[in-house]
Structure 1
Amino acid sequence: MTDTDTAVSIEVYLGVDTHRDTHHAALVDRLGRPIDDREFPTTADGYRRLLTWASAAGAIAGVGVEGTSSYGAALTGALREAGWAVVEVDHPDRSARRRRGKSDPVDAYAAAVAVASGRATTCPKSRDGDVESIRVLHNTRRAAVKARSDALTSLKSMLVTAPDEVRERLRGLTRARLIRMCASLEPGPVASGGAAAATEIALRSIAVRYQHLSGEIAALERDLQVLTRRAAPALLELPGVGFDTTAQLLITVGDNRERIVSEAALANLCGVAPIQASSGQRCRHRLNRGGDRQANRALHTVVLSRLKTDPLTQAYRERRLAEGKTKREIIRCLKRAVAREIFRVLNPKAEVDNS
């Protein structure tokens, strides 16, 4: 056996600390001992060079990548195309960084060690189906909704200090009529019209922006409804679940739903799994403030909708109130139950396996 054959037979683990322009990669052996580290550009050529460099060190037993859904998304795709098993690695916590310091090589080695030790096991999202399309459109719609809300706030604030003749014409109007009136204003020349003309120009500009954003949001919503119905029609049939909450939950889970192996894993991912906070003879749980907060918000929206319209949910609330539970505690229990229900809808095969 040659020296080259011996080297190739070595089992190594790859860790990558990702950034916008460069990725820092590190290799460790199965015991977590450092082998080598190097920096590569975030280009197709850079990914090829990283694969060649890592392959030369030995047989790749696992790869840990930070930010597989952001800066590391393209690299994760290249690694998967090469047939390497990739797992998501969380950023080191603050206490660890205080002890060890912070640098790209340190983070890359930490990612490799996390894979070698089995601490990192989360499968990244595949980003190759309808859910990726939903994510892009959903984020764009959310940004447009925020911009429209900011525009309305600016318009109303401007009316407070507008000249009397402008403010009196627009006083007491509903939101829709206020936007139409402001968009149809015909101010005179700003050079001779003074503050009134300038205010009308500003109000018209904001109103036209509001109308444009409303049209943009409506178009995005139509596309989102088509994609969410195709991706998860059964989810939309659940009480209290609309296309917006469906979109967010699908984004949280990803295209490869099988990566969420149990309903407890989904609950933890959405931040609705209670966390043990027991000590001595006192047994209690505390609120989970981790997980995907947007998914947590989506579950909260579903629960509030059911509390208003679903008789079974309302009966559950009354029963738990009679037992001495607070409204907040009841909502937390309901969110956990909704997460369980959603998992069974998204993973019907897992439901059969767990029964």
Structure 2
Amino acid sequence: MLATGTKATTAPTADSQDAEAGLLWKQIVGPLEPFLEAVSNRLGEQVRAFDPELSGLAEYTLQGPGKQLRPTLVGLVGQALGRPGPDHITVAVIIEMIHLATLVHDDVMDEAALRRGRLTVAARWGNETAVLFGDCLFAQALVLAAGFPTPEICRAVARATETVCTGEILQTRHRRNFPLSQEYYFRVLEMKTGELFGLACDLGAWCSGAAPEVRGTLRQFGLAFGTAYQLYDDCLDLMGQESAVGKSLGTDLAKGKLTLPVLLAWERSDPRERSRLERWIQHWEPGHLPQLRQMLERHGALVEALRMIHVHLERARQHLQGLPAPARPGPLHAAADYLARQADRLNGAH
């Protein structure tokens, strides 16, 4: 989700060839290009923080392809409240390192061989090394956080990390377990994805010297926006096109993760259809996807799930209305509008 010539300019779109979408996203993040470039450079510098024998592993992880969504939010908040500075860069690096650590661990648990078109750390160096290096990333993020003159950053980072890991545990414990309530599903989404989005907005505001109430308002924006983004990603896993998404579809189902469209279809099905859906999830095969899509469309599950993206994005926009007059929440509002547009495009494709 970033800019021209760097990984900071690739728009988070269901169709990477959509020039119009790419242009819209560039208009949002274009002013942040120097900031995002600085974040990328600072991430690269972190390679030297690890033992020389781990330099290849660290470089592979820290300088790999990525959307940098969370650093982008840090920068957008800094822009809304003035101008991003050196502290914003450090905070963005901290949060991105935490995110990368969770991805390294996720790939071990999911037995994933590829991420973003290349071998995962686990596939290339083995599970034991991947688990331990993920721990190293968490630790290095806390080292950077400890460099601030207040323990507040360390506390916020540690709390957020605990929340993210707890959300992952809760999701893992309920794999393939029907029924699962929508309330529980959204709780996990907020913990797993929304939390780091909320942290990015909160600490971005802290770096700008914002008052506690402003920080709280922006944190709530981040939680709602992050939840909407993860819901969009869950829908994309079922409704996208592999050539555009850049990965195999149905990966959540292969891992037994029950996403909102599937939960809605189960709730609206008769006993026979429920049994069929449960069998598919228990023994998932890619060939089930066309039949599953038909079931989802028959029960309006896809349309309802996409509607819920708009619900959470509207909550995010409402939080921006609570910002004081000097703030310029335009880019944050535009980011929410962009994601809403992408959800509508996904709906239009089916």
Same fold (TM over 0.5): no
Task: Report the TM-score, using the length of structure 1 for normalisation.
Answer: 0.29
Higher fraction of helix: 2
Higher fraction of strand: 1
Decide which structure has the larger Cα Rg and report it: 1
